[in-house]
Amino acid sequence: MNTLSGPSGGSRPRLDRDLIVQTAITSIDTHGVQGLTMRRVGQDLGVAAMSLYRYVSGREALLEAVVEKLMDGVTARADAVGFTSWQGYLQVLANEVRRVAQSHPAAFPLVASRHPATPWLRPPLRSIELVEHFLATLSDFGFDDIRAVDAYKAFTTFLIGSLLLEVAAHGEDILSVDETLNEGEAAIPEQDAYFDLQQAPHVCRMQDRLSQDTTEQEFEIGLEALIDRIERSVSQ
């Protein structure tokens, strides 16, 4: 590994974007999202904060990179575990996302609170790669576009709601993680990120359905399913 000399003559890893992002995640794990500053990350790396701006344009851009890093590899790990049914896929994917929440509970709320990769796409599946993987996999199992999108919405509603409650139960603050602290020139909080949907053909094809606001219907369907489950439980 390439190294640089530290202030006391020791060595430290050579500065790069990945190291900065990983250091930011470690800082959030320790101090929370609101404790993350460019100065603190610089101190943890043994460099001046200004040295970081060569790799990230500011704190908000760094938070975007943290979300990307957290979700990176989720689909690959799901594929590695393997599944033979759509039910199995949902179980594997849910558990992989849950591992992220359990490993980084202070940072996980960012997954649900940062600006989406497109203006109409619900987080977390802030990762277009993950959304595409989800829709493509369900399509491979015979879901048509409407049912695939409806499953995506129901799945993410359950998953993120459940995981946010889980990290909150462990004392993490899920309400104030998205307060903007302006450092640097990152303008990400002012607008949604841009993503070329040509890289995600299923997302592109289902965009109209994905963009429809069906939260009221989703709530009613989820509530009915919960009531049915409780009813089956008490009738046994």
What is residue 114's predicted lDDT score, i.e. its pLDDT? 75
Question: In this structure, which CATH number among 1.10.10.60, 3.40.50.11600, 1.25.40.10, 1.10.10.1100 belongs to the domain 14-69?
Answer: 1.10.10.60
Domain limits, the chain:
14-69, 72-173+196-235
Q: Which fold has domain 72-173+196-235?
A: Tetracycline Repressor; domain 2 (1.10.357)
What is the pTM assigned to this prediction? 0.81
Nearest to 158 by CA among 106, 110, 94, 234: 94
How do residues 14-68 score in pLDDT, each as one tens digit? 899 999 999 999 999 999 999 999 999 999 999 999 999 999 999 989 998 999 9
Nearest to 132 by CA among 150, 158, 157, 152: 152
Query: 158, 95 in Cβ contact below 8 A?
Result: no
How do residues 148-162 score in pLDDT, each as one tens digit? 999 998 898 889 889
What is residue 84's predicted lDDT score, i.e. its pLDDT? 95
The two domains 14-69 and 72-173+196-235 share their CATH topology (first three levels equal): no
**In the block, which residue shows the tokens 């989820």?**
222
